[in-house]
């Protein structure tokens, strides 16, 4: 879990051995295979996960089409956050797009850390802020950029995305058809 500690330290969270120990004791390592469902729609997400390796997507079905709402990569938080925090059934599925290794903490254990560790609330706030900014950036992109601009941004932010993830999922995430994505890629290349 040292990589998680380094990530949190890089965000300015002053972790000592003493206040890091409860996180280490409560987190556990979990592996998922490519195409494995990590969470099914209708289940309550009981775990906040942090990705060590691999990629996943959050998606839902509408009119027999899969609509991808988020990709998650190495060193990012993975959860259906509304389900996790509100203890409600998830509105989406979470699928491993590659073989994955994640570190998970159960909701109840995280709540205990929040109650007993002053640093816990700071880590929680960082998690919420990170997820919120990702969501805000995505919304802003949809409202202010063309599909081609969204493609170029995605290419800049995640250059290896197109080698790891099927184009149909990327197109769904961008809010366009796979055919439109192919036309954009041909124009740019």
Residue 34 lies in a domain: yes
**pLDDT of 189 strictly over 80:** no
Q: Say if 39 falls within a structural domain.
A: yes
Say yes or no to pLDDT of 101 above 90.
Answer: yes
Q: Is residue 144 part of a domain?
A: no
Tell me, yes or no, whether 74 lies in a domain: yes
Q: Which residue has the higher pLDDT, 7 or 33?
A: 33
The pTM of the full predicted model, rounded to 2 decimals, is 0.86
- Is the pLDDT at 46 greater than 90? The verdict is yes
* 179, part of any domain: no
Does residue 172 belong to any structural domain of this protein? Answer: no
**Alpha carbon distance 171, 2 (integer Å):** 35
SS3 assignment, position 172: helix
Residue 107 within a domain: yes
pLDDT confidence of 27, banded at 50, 70, 90?
Answer: very high
9 lies in a domain? yes
Q: Which domain holds residue 93?
A: 2-119
- DSSP letter for 12, please: T
Q: What is the CATH number of the domain that holds 71?
A: 2.60.120.10
What's the pLDDT at 111?
94
Judged on CB neighbours under 10 Å (0-12, 13-18, 19+), 44 is middle
- Give residue 117's pLDDT band: very low, low, confident or very high (50, 70, 90): confident
- What's the total number of domains in the chain? 1
Tokens of 180: 């439109």
Predicted confidence band at 118 (pLDDT cuts at 50, 70, 90)?
A: confident
In the prediction, which pLDDT does 79 show?
94
């Amino acid at each position: 879990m040292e990589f998680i500690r380094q990530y949190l330290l890089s965000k300015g969270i002053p972790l000592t051995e003493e206040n890091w120990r409860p996180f280490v004791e409560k987190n556990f390592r979990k592996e998922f295979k490519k195409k494995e469902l990590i969470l099914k729609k209708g289940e309550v997400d009981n775990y906040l996960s942090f990705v060590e390796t691999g990629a996943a997507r959050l998606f839902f079905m509408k009119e027999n089409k899969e609509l991808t709402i988020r990709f998650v990569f190495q060193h990012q938080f993975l959860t259906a956050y509304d389900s996790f925090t509100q203890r409600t059934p998830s509105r989406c599925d979470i699928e491993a797009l590659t073989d994955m290794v994640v570190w998970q903490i159960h909701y109840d254990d995280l709540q205990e850390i929040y109650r007993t560790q002053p640093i816990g609330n700071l880590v929680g706030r960082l998690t919420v802020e990170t997820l919120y900014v990702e969501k805000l950036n995505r919304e802003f992109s949809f409202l202010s950029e063309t599909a081609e601009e969204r493609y170029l941004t995605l290419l800049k932010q995640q250059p290896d995305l197109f080698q790891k993830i099927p184009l149909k999922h990327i197109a769904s995430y961008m809010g366009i058809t796979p055919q439109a994505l192919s036309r954009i890629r041909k124009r740019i290349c």
